[in-house]
Amino acid sequence: MSKKISLRIGGRNFDIDVDENFLQFIEYQMAKDFNRDGNNDLKILLQAYIGKTYELYIQEQKIDKILKKLDK
């Protein structure tokens, strides 16, 4: 079952359908990255995207390091 989560960016409200099991996680993450009660400009959106992409990059580096250790 899906649930809606809303975010205001550039003066427009966006409703996003997410899986019920994912809802708590995404609400927590969005609260860290965005103003959930007000408007977010495009710069905030870009900063959040870059931040999450960097987190993914670091995570992949750690996974690669672990895989290399397992190959030995």
φ and ψ at residue 2, rounded to 5 degrees: -105, 155
pLDDT at 47: 96
Instruction: Return the pLDDT at 45.
Output: 96
The domain total for the chain is 1
pLDDT of residue 1: 85
Q: How many CB atoms lie within 10 A of CB 8?
A: 15
Chunk the chain into consecutive blocks of 10 residues (it has 72) and report each block's average pLDDT, rounded to whole numbers: 93 95 95 94 96 97 96 84
Q: Which domain holds residue 50?
A: 2-71
Helices (H) and strands (E) in the chain, counts: 2, 3
- pTM passes above 0.85: no
